Structure 1
Amino acid sequence: MSGNFKGSVVVYSILGCPHCMKAKKLLGELNVPYSDVRLDLYPQIKDEVMQKSGMRTVPQVYFNAKLVGGNDELQKLVKDSAAWEEALKDVRENPMPEDGPIIPDPSTAVAEADYFNIQCEPDEYFVLVTQMKTANVVRTHGSFLKSHKNAFSGQDFLAWVQKEKELDKERGIEMGQALLDHKFAKPQKSGSSFQGGTELYVLNEGDDSGALNGGAISECVPKSANQLGELLRKMILKLYSVYLSEDGKAMDYKGMKASAEFKTYTEIARELTRVDIKSASREEKLAFFINIYNALVIHANIERGPPTNIFGRYKFFNNTKYVIGGHPYSLQDIENGVLRANRKGVGQFTLPFGSKDPRLEIALERHEPLIHFGLVCGAKSCPPIKTYTPEKIYDELKLAASSFLENDDGCQIDMNNKSIKLSSIFKWYKIDFGRNDKEVGICTQMG
């Protein structure tokens, strides 16, 4: 196939979108030159692109001014020999008209950060914790039946800092409180203040829950929840795009797991153990936990592989965890405990967080139904969103909802029978969308 076209083929895509890769792979196999316009690099044209096409998803494939559609539509076009030849004829013989797709100036692209060379600012209290370990202030406390690893008592800490640091009791208590405030340790029982008595405090490391970011405590000054959530999501998507096969159908998890970039990702994910999320706003929590949920799904696929059956899926969503701010959160905990304001999930008989669970303070005060479209799903197209941001979270979630409902996976309209078939999401989580079918329908139209 000759590449001497007077016109242009344009593909709008985003980083990490497998359906975009499939479309571009097909065009490459057919020797059809195309311009790849990544909307995450040109966010200034995203709204205009969506408005022009009437589509809320990517990929969007254009042959000159003619919108083919997404990957599925491109595949159908190629199989229809007459329509395919007509599309090729247009770009062979005719230049791109003025009303064609937007081609941005390359100089206006947003610079891609080198996510894997993020600098670590050492935390002064990390040195203190290291010294406490060396002095055996941090050790296992308790009996054979009930023990607490990596723990220290308030009185042992005070005695040590008074002797080794030559501090008085008042200053020692302030330093103990700083360890809690910097999320290096947490009270073994409830509470948030350092007492300096027989009570125990446990370091936020060596978590026994099997969290994927467990292990040695992070020595870096914690980033903000928003910064860290967005950073990890972008890093994992960058990895995803590098190790996804050219046709977008297979992932080289083995190669990704062995890469230096993935090692950097896991090191930065450890910073989640000390992140402060308690003081975050509703919008900040929404953006943070959606980004972290989506990153955690991919992280788990790399480490353990994707689930292959119903039981494996149950284990995947209940046992895949990160430690966040000193507490373990599974995928179920994030979705149903935090984002759905502590509601029972599918197949759950009890609430995710009990009345005394410290994570209940982190949960949203009221559920957010649109989160179901922001969390990882298997739709045939992708919303043009790479990461979620607190400033635009509701607009971004509405866009994700519109993108989902634009696909047959989300909504099918049968004009002949005058019926609408919705995704099972609306059945499983009906309580989130409305008290009856009418309210669910209204919520769907709002999406």
Structure 2
Amino acid sequence: MGKSISEFEDEMSVTGRITLFSKSGCPDSKAVRSFLRTKHLPFVEINLDLFPQRGLDLEERTGTSSVPQLFFNDELVGGMEELNLLQQNGELDEKIQKVKENPCPESAPGLPVHSEEESENAVPDEFAEVVQKLREKVQLKDRFLKLRLYSKCFLGSDAVEVFAEDQYCEKDEAVEFGRKVAAKHFFHHVAHENLFEDGNNLYRFFEHDPAIATKCLNFFGATNDLEPKPAADVAKKLMTLILATYDRYISDDGKHVNYYAIATSEEFRRYVKLTEELHRIDLTTLTREEKLSFFLNIHNAMVIHSFILYGRPNGALERRTYFAEIQYVIGGYAYSLSAIQNGILRANQRPPYTLTKIFGAKDPRLQVGLEKPEPLIHFALSYGTQGSPAIRCYSPEGIDAELRIAARDFFDSGGITIDSEARTMSLSKIMKWYSSDFGKNEREVLHWIAKHINPTKAEHLLSLLEDSNVRVNYFPFDWSPNI
């Protein structure tokens, strides 16, 4: 078990400034970061993936763009090799004492600046102007459809008139134009019965959908009307920010999260801003590997985001509500934590102890989900608890190998225990809740586990399975927070 974040943050007082130039996912940067934590030394981190132009400053100071590079005030210390050498020579304590006592001079590397490196050319969506006209001209009313009341709706016929006037076209052409606008997720049919049609069909603007307006953590009162970027590009940018956040604020073993530090960090500020770009992206363009990594990363980041905003749920009832109601709007639709896990990553399987599937037969999110369940996702999804798997950032290029590693690590760190004398195996409750993803019966589940644990333990497990009297227990899930 690694150290808790509270231990990491029990830092000594330093008058000067320790600055670490790093990159996300860099093993050497991680080693220096861990070294500073063990010494309880506070430091400023300049991640060149977030602040690429600071690489020029680094090169001017060091003659190289390689990381990590550590500074004590304006003095270059270097990387892990140099730190180890200073410690071996007995010089490190003296340098630490010096930075503790001496204020930081102006010649030291500057602090990273908020909004630095963020400027991008924002391009309005091609339909933004006509959608604004639509918002201004159609009559929004609460209307009934099949005995159900829908708030703030407009009629397809009213929209057709606006489109025909704007495009100087006939009604048939206006309907075709309206379908193109609807396909960009500016509005949807209230019951998802069609893309866009004339007549008394009811439609609602994205921002007036109650699920989006009141429950989505990444919706801030208005739709992002900029031209959506390719979903894979947005996913990559989010992955960079998430990885930088995890490197800096989550323990090396992935089991302890410093929520307070994340909440006040530049990484989190940028992450929240970037989630607005999810509003209208086209998720259907993603490959299986891109969907897996994207939704795993988003799920775990949503948990952190929600804990920062609302705290953690207490008790079974609050947890059930939490997984259903904590949502992001992605590609025009609201996705809860449960929708991501059970609807997308488990190919629309029923959640534990429920009778219905997440997505109904007409739900447009069905086309986004995986074609078949991926069992390994259960060793990558975090619920913000001690019983959850370690938190990691996943990449589309290596997702399958990364998931196999996550599964082995989960079982090696207590996900399964074997008592040979008692002829008993104890498993995480995760294996019971989602047993159907691993096999048709308990023995099939155990054979599945044997393929995903270290060979010695697998041999032991398989030998026990030869005994028909072997017993399987499930230890209580630890819902305490991963702080």
Tell me the TM-score normalised to structure 1 length.
Answer: 0.67
Q: Distance in 1 between matches of 2:282 and 2:138?
A: 25
Q: Which residue of 2 is the match for residue 422 of structure 1? A: 427
1:343 aligns with 2:341: no
How many pairs align? 367
Residues 1:18 and 1:193: Cα distance change in structure 2 (over 3 Å)? farther
Deviations 1:370-403 (A, max 9, x none): 01011115459986942x2333221121121122
| Contact 1:132–1:138 under 8 Å retained in 2 | no
| Deviation at residue 326 of structure 1 after TM alignment | 2.5
The residue type paired with residue 345 of structure 1 is: P
1:208 equivalent among 203, 210, 226:
210
Q: Where do 1:130-279 residues align within 5 Å?
A: 130-134=132-136, 136-137=137-138, 139-142=140-143, 147-209=149-211, 210-214=215-219, 215-236=221-242, 238=244, 250-252=258-260, 256=263, 264-279=270-285
1:290 equivalent among 288, 292, 296:
296
| Contact 1:116–1:235 under 8 Å retained in 2 | no
Higher relative contact order (CA 8 A, sep 6+): 1
| Deviation at residue 286 of structure 1 after TM alignment | 1.7
Secondary structure class of the residue paired with 2:182: helix
RMSD: 4.4
| Contact 2:216–2:329 under 8 Å retained in 1 | yes
The residue type paired with residue 175 of structure 2 is: I
| Contact 1:184–1:204 under 8 Å retained in 2 | yes
| Deviation at residue 318 of structure 1 after TM alignment | 1.6
| Contact 1:206–1:216 under 8 Å retained in 2 | no
| Deviation at residue 443 of structure 1 after TM alignment | 2.0
| Contact 1:187–1:202 under 8 Å retained in 2 | yes
The residue type paired with residue 140 of structure 1 is: K
Q: Distance in 2 between matches of 1:380 and 1:428?
A: 13
Q: Distance in 1 between matches of 2:375 and 2:119?
A: 36
Structure 2 unaligned residues grouped into runs of 5+ = 14-18, 39-83, 91-114, 453-483
| Contact 2:24–2:240 under 8 Å retained in 1 | no
Deviations 1:88-134 (A, max 9, x none): 9xx7489xxxxxxxxxxxxxxxxxx9785565332121222122222
Secondary structure class of the residue paired with 1:186: strand
| Deviation at residue 293 of structure 1 after TM alignment | 1.0
| Deviation at residue 315 of structure 1 after TM alignment | 1.7
Q: Distance in 2 between matches of 1:161 and 1:18?
A: 60
Deviations 1:405-428 (A, max 9, x none): 2212x2334466565432221122
Secondary structure class of the residue paired with 2:417: strand
| Contact 1:283–1:391 under 8 Å retained in 2 | yes
| Contact 1:342–1:360 under 8 Å retained in 2 | yes
1:42 equivalent among 14, 18, 26:
26
Q: Which residue of 1 is the match for residue 70 of structure 2? A: none
1:441 aligns with 2:446: yes
Q: Distance in 1 between matches of 2:186 and 2:277?
A: 11
Q: Where do 1:289-308 residues align within 5 Å?
A: 289-308=295-314
The residue type paired with residue 407 of structure 2 is: A
The residue type paired with residue 294 of structure 1 is: N
Tell me the TM-score normalised to structure 2 length.
Answer: 0.63
Instruction: Report which stretch shifted further, 263-272 or 236-245.
Output: 236-245
The residue type paired with residue 312 of structure 2 is: P
Residues 1:420 and 1:367: Cα distance change in structure 2 (over 3 Å)? same
Q: Distance in 2 between matches of 1:140 and 1:435?
A: 50
Q: Distance in 2 between matches of 1:354 and 1:213?
A: 24
| Contact 1:239–1:256 under 8 Å retained in 2 | no
Secondary structure class of the residue paired with 2:207: coil
Q: Which residue of 1 is the match for residue 461 of structure 2? A: none
| Contact 1:140–1:147 under 8 Å retained in 2 | no
Q: Where do 1:5-154 residues align within 5 Å?
A: 19=3, 40-42=24-26, 92=88, 120-134=122-136, 136-137=137-138, 139-142=140-143, 147-154=149-156
Deviations 1:299-327 (A, max 9, x none): 21122111133322222112111222232
| Deviation at residue 169 of structure 1 after TM alignment | 3.6
| Contact 1:344–1:352 under 8 Å retained in 2 | yes
Instruction: Report which stretch shifted further, 186-195 or 369-378.
Output: 186-195
Residues 1:414 and 1:120: Cα distance change in structure 2 (over 3 Å)? farther
Q: Distance in 1 between matches of 2:337 and 2:257?
A: 24
| Deviation at residue 224 of structure 1 after TM alignment | 2.9
Q: Which residue of 1 is the match for residue 416 of structure 2? A: 411
Q: Distance in 2 between matches of 1:222 and 1:18?
A: 41
